[in-house]
Structure 1
């Protein structure tokens, strides 16, 4: 029973997002950490993200039954009723919002709820299925967690929050396109309106190059505007340059799926490096 309720929250997504929340919080705190506030922020936004994932599982249960990688999900197999899932998602969202409101500030709550709304209503219920721009819309909600961490620590939405948002939005695009390429059969079978399905892999590779280049430029903004030091610039900037290099290799790749998996795995590595360096080399 517990395993079903755990798996329907997509724990892998929660874990990945919590890493960026921590990075954003450390950036905003600038070395003066309040551990209680930090922990409350992580738990609160984790519950909100879990809520969004359960809602997404409910909304996507029809297309999940078609795709190989998702056909064994709890709701698809009927191991949890739709009503139970909706109640569970609502409770998770309420508890997460309550904790953020109680322990952080109103700005943090507003940013978190905007992310939830975009992911569940705008992305999951419409753009994912009907528009080639679904990935772009989804990148908005995906960029919210580090901003939540930053706002929790600062109670401000300033240039630092904007740079964080831009960086994570840009990162989401090649990350998501890489998944779509190595899972192309699933996405095609489910008729999901994503770029590789609608425009082809070649066109997607060009966009991935553009987004990785833009990401590499954006990450430098943290040092340029005085939020991080030169160690961050060298390590994160160098890592971003390697991601750009790997993206260009896609133009001559013999096996698109293999290359896309490398792009995906590297995207995980680079976002961990980015989040860690925000904490380790923040300008105090």
Structure 2
């Protein structure tokens, strides 16, 4: 074979390799890997603070099931939302609207992963954990994506429950039962979701408006959205102290909850006070909302990390 022929073959192979790599990345993108990080983290936290223990292999299997189930819900969400994703700037390049993966393929992929994750969770841990896992998938897909998202500005409030399931699932995987603490962790994430997501929606409201999704800034305006960010943050912060009040956590978690909560409130009030016009539209490009959104992610990571550290190191 000549050098020229080998060069052409090598170039074709490299091209094919790049194409194959891109396809794999597209299937991974359907799982919403950025969202998965927080979902898996809080699920692991619920598993670690639960009384009792799982064999390490079973614990890793439970974490894998939570990961796969959340990814399955994300894939089905992308299948259903492919029409609005096509008109929103931040989602136009997703695999389905960009034509790299068929809608039917994405749906089959999501359903297969969802059913498999629930079955594996039941076999590896217990069927109550599998049932809660199945409920989390159905809540995100049916209640939030199909029912609430396009109908009401309260979509993210009620739909926020979908993202609050992981610590409950982790706890039930270990204990086989539901207790007060995992319900508190569920409630913390439930109340954290509105200020987290509404801070995002303040600087992404144009996308939602183009897609006809009734997010709060589109329906009620930016000023009301700012007020709701502050309100829900004030509801959240006292609730984060509940694990200390019921005697589950000690000073480490309590101090972290107070410091993180004070900082979250500072960011929320900065969103409210940001220079704005009469309609509440920021005159600074929603700089405070962007900072609040970024901090809210760190907030939940650090809060749950403190809970685990307090429970494991100071128990």
How high is the TM-score relative to the length of structure 2? 0.87
Cα offsets for 1:205-238 (capped at 9, x unmatched): 1111111111111110011111111110001221
Tell me, yes or no, if the aligned pair for 1:22 and 1:275 is still in contact at 8 Å. no
Show the counterpart of 1:10: 32
Q: Which runs of 5+ in 1 are unaligned?
A: none
Separation in 2, partners of 1:38, 1:182:
39
Show the counterpart of 1:24: 46
Cα offsets for 1:162-182 (capped at 9, x unmatched): 111110100111111011111
Show the counterpart of 1:126: 147
Question: Equivalent residues in 2 for 1:147-158 (5 A)?
Answer: 147-158=168-179
- CA drift of 1:45 comes to 0.9
Show the counterpart of 1:62: 83
Aligned equivalent of 2:241, options 220, 227, 230 = 220
Show the counterpart of 2:161: 140
- CA drift of 1:37 comes to 2.8
Cα offsets for 1:139-188 (capped at 9, x unmatched): 11010111111111221111112111110100111111011111111111
Tell me, yes or no, if the aligned pair for 1:236 and 1:270 is still in contact at 8 Å. no
Aligned equivalent of 1:275, options 304, 307, 310 = 304
Q: Give 4+ residue runs of structure 1 displaced > 3 Å after superposition.
A: none
- Greater relative contact order, per chain length (Cα 8 Å cut-off, separation 6+): 1
- 2:54 maps to 1:36: no
Q: Which runs of 5+ in 2 are unaligned?
A: 1-22, 276-283
- CA drift of 1:76 comes to 0.3
Cα offsets for 1:66-124 (capped at 9, x unmatched): 11000000000111111111111111112211221111112211111111111101111
Separation in 2, partners of 1:256, 1:128:
26
Show the counterpart of 1:247: 268
Tell me, yes or no, if the aligned pair for 2:271 and 2:292 is still in contact at 8 Å. no
Show the counterpart of 2:196: 175
Separation in 2, partners of 1:70, 1:18:
23
Paired residues in the alignment total 283
